[in-house]
Chains A and B, each alone.
Chain A
Amino acid sequence: MQLLSVDLIHRQTDGVMIKKTFLEIFTALLVVLFLYAALSKLLEYERFYIQVNQSPLLTGLVWIPILTIAVELITCLLLLIPSCRFIGYFFSLGLMGIFTAYIVAILKYSPYVPCSCGGILESMGWREHLAFNVVFLFIALGCCVLHFDRIDSDHENQLERLGI
């Protein structure tokens, strides 16, 4: 009986390790994505501002460009501070949700498809962009779930709970 439960702990520990690794990789991906997205927009701000205004959904909304960059940078910051990380995950999820829904709306309603994302993202077609966004949406969702799973099944907690 004793042996069996030790084995169980080990197996669960392995599971926790895998989850932890995934969470770390996903977090890094999100940080890189938002940092890159924000900086590429900021470096060519004039161009980005004009492109946003070319969008039939966003034209005339002058605060959208700076707000987008600000939220992306804040999300990055939250993801980098361990105690705020979970807020960062929810921010990431919200941002990816908005970006993905925006692309769907553009593809569905706009009479033409304007270009808008900076840097390398610009070279993607809108359908590839949609796929890319959906992947990152799931990554953000995965982060939210894994983060709280980890706290829930933290190694020490496991040991405590089993009374070892």
Chain B
Amino acid sequence: MKLKLSRIRVIGISATILTASLLVVAGLVVASGILRDKRGTFLRLLPPHPVEELDSVRLGSDSYYFAGTDERSVYLSRYRNPFHLLKVDIPSLDTQHISLNYVNVHRQKYYSPKVKVRDNHFIMTDGSVGEIFSGALSERVGKSLECDSIFFRDILPVSVNSYIVKSLNGKGENMLGKFSVTQPHWLSSNLILEKQKDGVFCSDGTMSFNKKNGSAVFAYFYRNQFTVIDTSLNILYRANTIDTVSIAKIVPARIEDDGVSTLASPQYVVNRLVRTDGDWIFIQSELSAKNEHPDALKQGCVIDVYDFQTGKYSLSFYVYNYKGSKRMNEFAIVGDRLIVRYGNLLRALRLKPEYFAGTNTQLTTVVKDILQDQE
């Protein structure tokens, strides 16, 4: 038997089906809560213009990333090209290309080599290869540190000879360790990173070294905590970021076939990136505060500033998107300059001294005065 339908009926049925499928997806959108106001219950101090936009400079490529800073410059290297280093002078933004060489390097072993700069020295590593090349920027030649292989997920040079690494312990969980060229070569601590779920994602985070204070800060990606440690891996203090996510919301999962750990949930990032310099810790947060515009984080990124000595919150400011839609990829701090990278564009922002030159107590008073004035 053949069902006969006129063309009008067929089109009518098709339109009904398409409307129904639209409704199904609309139902999913509503049920997922993605449209809900996601602002938290916490507040941000947002004084008017604590940073001021200055000049910018174009880089030749999108593939640059920050390799390190010193008092007067920021260094960038390129993904998959550890032979190239770009030195950008601050505040002039003059650029200088530096080519690096390595002695006896097996290039094919390096899938994602990274270059880092600290104290006029550079290192080139790939956490899965286990070898570190190190050299002085004046000589531009990296030599292998003859040492036992160390494998890591992130490395933070704290001096010419020592590095804090984020690595996995025997149980496959995150830990921090310190590798030194001099004795003792290896130091590790299972106490710094606190496990909440799987010990891999829940305790993962971003880290940065503060040269002035000789200590490092580790901020968790998925919860509201950061920890400040000295270079012997002693905990100086733990502190909370201003938001309320004390337990990571992610759902860790494992694909047994591939042996890969992954997430079976959206990413729910709290702290995207931490950088510290001088008296401050700068944390890029992904969460909106109660007193922010609901779309504020679509127009820019928010950076919360904490006092390095105490971990107390000071203020927040926005780094607005480039041309409205290009979000900041990463930032670095050189003295009173915040250097922001948007793809292949570097922009300098000035941290205004009335907010950032004094101590935290002075600053808090300034901010409070301003907020009172606003009221």
Interface set of A (CB-CB < 8 Å, partner B): 44, 46-47, 49-50, 53-61, 83, 86, 90, 93-95, 97-98, 101-102, 104-105, 109-110, 112, 114, 141, 144-145, 148-149, 151-152
Contact = CB atoms under 8 A, between A and B. Distances in A.
A94 B20 contact: yes
A114 B258 CA distance: 19
A58 B255 contact: no
A61 B265 CA distance: 11
B18 A54 contact: no
Interface residues of B, number: 37
What secondary structure prevails in chain A residues at the interface with B?
A: helix
A50 B264 CA distance: 5
B256 A46 contact: yes
Interface stretch (B24-32, B68-76, B98-106, B231-239): B24-32
Contacts of B26: 101, 105
Contact of B22 (A61, A90, A101): A101
A59 to B, nearest CB: 5
Interface string B242-277: 000000000101011110001111110000000000
Interface stretch (B4-12, B53-61, B179-187, B221-229): B4-12
Interface in B20-51: 20-22, 24-26, 28-29, 32, 34-35
Contacts of B28: 57-58, 61, 102, 105
Given A110-B34, A148-B7, A53 B25 contact: no
What does DSSP make chain B's interface, helix, strand, loop or mixed? mixed
Nearest to B14: A144
A59 B32 contact: yes
Interface of B: 1-7, 9-11, 13-14, 17-18, 20-22, 24-26, 28-29, 32, 34-35, 251, 253, 255-258, 262-267
Given A47-B258, A152-B7, A54 B265 contact: yes
Given A57-B34, A94-B17, 8 more contacts: A50-B264, A83-B1, A101-B22, A105-B26, A145-B10, A148-B4, A148-B10, A152-B4
B32 A57 contact: yes
A93 B17 contact: yes
Contact of A109 (B7, B17, B24, B35): B35
Contacts of B265: 53-54, 59-60
B7 to A, nearest CB: 6
Contacts of B10: 144-145, 148
Contacts of A152: 4, 6-7
B22 A97 contact: yes
A50 B14 contact: no
Contacts of A49: 264
A93 B17 CA distance: 7
A97 B21 contact: yes
A151 to B, nearest CB: 5
Contacts of B1: 83
B14 A93 contact: yes
Nearest to B35: A109
A101 B11 contact: no
B2 A151 contact: yes
6 shortest interchain CB distances as A-B pairs: A97-B21, A101-B25, A53-B264, A98-B21, A50-B264, A97-B18
